[in-house]
Amino acid sequence: MGSASPRDHLMKLLEPVVSAEGLDLEDITVTQAGRRRILRVIVDRDGGVSLDDVADVSQAVSAALDDDDAMGQSAYTLEVSSPGVDRPLTEPRHWRRAAKRLVKAEMRDGTVIEGRILGADESGVDLDVAGTARKLDYKDLARGRVQVEFRRIDDVDGDEG
């Protein structure tokens, strides 16, 4: 068999670097932008990621890339950020971190369920679907997406005006 893809190599190289900073490595993408390449490293953790976290992990990732020469000799730009709201929820930690958010859950059977995340554990996610609590097992879920809300439910409590 051939060697691992460049993305796989970068994931294996950077996962322990990001973990040492107390974060989870969510994704890596390399895209061409003119003569330069852009390396995007997406990190997250429970409680979110601060700008200081991004700065610290950026320095650690940059040093690891320099030591390994994983990006080769041509120029590239390193971007480190947290996932956007449009990131699909595919792992238990994604669902846990989206607690209290409104989501659309795509089931493996093709149905779509919309509800607010009450909680999530290693076996599944609890949603409030039209006022009824419903447990969805991860094995039945294809993925979920957080729905953009201009006024979240916790913004409304006691704030009627």
Each residue's pLDDT tens digit, 9-40: 999 999 999 999 999 999 999 998 888 899 99
Rg, the chain, Cα only: 19
pLDDT at 63 (0 to 100) = 93
Residue 9 gets which letter from DSSP? H
Q: Which helix (H) or strand (E) holds 37?
A: strand 36-44
Q: What is the mean pLDDT of residues 73-88?
A: 87
Q: Does domain 6-81 have CATH number 1.10.1370.30?
A: no
Q: What is the value of pTM for the model shown? A: 0.73
Residue spans per domain, the chain: 6-81, 92-146
Which ranges constitute the DSSP H helices of 22-87? 51-68
Second-level CATH architecture of 92-146: Roll (2.30)
pLDDT, residue 153, reads 57
What average pLDDT score do residues 74-80 get? 90
- Residue 4's pLDDT is what? 65
Quickly tell me which residue has 């030591």 as its tokens: 67
pLDDT at 1: 44
For the cut 70, the answer to whether the pLDDT of residue 5 exceeds it is yes
Rounded mean pLDDT of the chain?
A: 88
The pLDDT score that the predictor gives to residue 50 is: 92
Summarised one tens digit per residue, pLDDT across range 90-129 is: 899 999 999 899 999 999 999 999 999 999 999 999 999 9
Q: What is the pLDDT of residue 154?
A: 57
Cα dist. 95→14, 89, 122, 149 in Å? 23, 6, 10, 17
| Confidence band of 160 (pLDDT split at 50, 70, 90) | very low
- Say what percent of the chain tops pLDDT 90: 63
